[in-house]
Amino acid sequence: MDKQKRGQLIALIRKLSYREGDFTLASGKKSRFYVDLKATTLHPEGAFLIGELAVDALMAFGRERGITIGGVGGLTLGADPLATAISLAARARGVSWPAFIVRKEPKDHGTGQYVEGTENLAPGASLVVLEDVVTTGGSSLKAIERLRDAGYRPEAALTVIDREQGGDALIREKGVEFLRLATLREVQESR
């Protein structure tokens, strides 16, 4: 990964998304720190940096494993801006990685499906699951399960921030590689 872009992303996250106080995380755990990454993922510079760095990491992963990535996405809402940023950054490099969205609940009308964007995915495609911040990996694990149920092959989970609280191990236990752009510690130590 480009060290300069990575440093810029960490600094932007620290400025826009990092908070200290008393918080309850999506996992239910209590924390003195919170990263509301949407302020960064929805910022033009944040989306650009995430897209660029993620494409670097995923291209290296694909080459190393001999995998052709067929799409990027994850559980709505945190993964949605990531999927768009990464899909567009890949396109700028001549690579087609369609974005997809995994719903928390199935659509209650029409097809009743959990996964949106399947029209752009090849049957049985190798996919990358995205999550903005990983603590326990719950959102990624839910997306992995739903994608497998739909006939896809989740090969990797990529997060912007890893809180380093065990989510990576739980994801790997499911046979899915875990990739991260930064850690909470790196954000905390940046100034």
pLDDT of residue 1: 83
Longest CA–CA separation in the chain, Å:
49
Domain encompassing residue 23: 3-189
Residue type, 27: S
Per DSSP, helices labelled H in the chain are 3-16, 38-41, 44-65, 80-92, 138-149, 167-173, 184-189
Q: What is the pLDDT of residues 45-86, one digit of tens each?
A: 999 999 999 999 999 999 999 999 999 999 999 999 999 999
Banded pLDDT at 25 (limits 50, 70, 90):
confident
Average pLDDT over residues 125-137: 96
Banded pLDDT at 115 (limits 50, 70, 90):
very high
pLDDT of residue 47: 98
Tell me the pLDDT of the chain averaged across its residues. Answer: 95
Please say if the pLDDT value at position 8 is more than 90.
Answer: yes
How many structural domains comprise the chain? 1
Nearest to 42 by CA among 184, 154, 160: 160
> Does 112 or 142 have the greater pLDDT score?
142
Residue 145 maps to which CATH number? 3.40.50.2020
Q: Using a pLDDT cut of 90, give the percent of the chain over it.
A: 90
H/E element, 131: strand 126-134
pLDDT of residue 32: 93
Q: What is the pLDDT of residues 155-167, one digit of tens each?
A: 999 999 999 999 9
Please say if the pLDDT value at position 112 is more than 80.
Answer: no
- Cα–Cα distance measured from residue 143 to residue 156, given in angstroms and rounded to the nearest whole number: 11
Q: Using a pLDDT cut of 70, give the percent of the chain over it.
A: 100
pLDDT of residue 78: 95
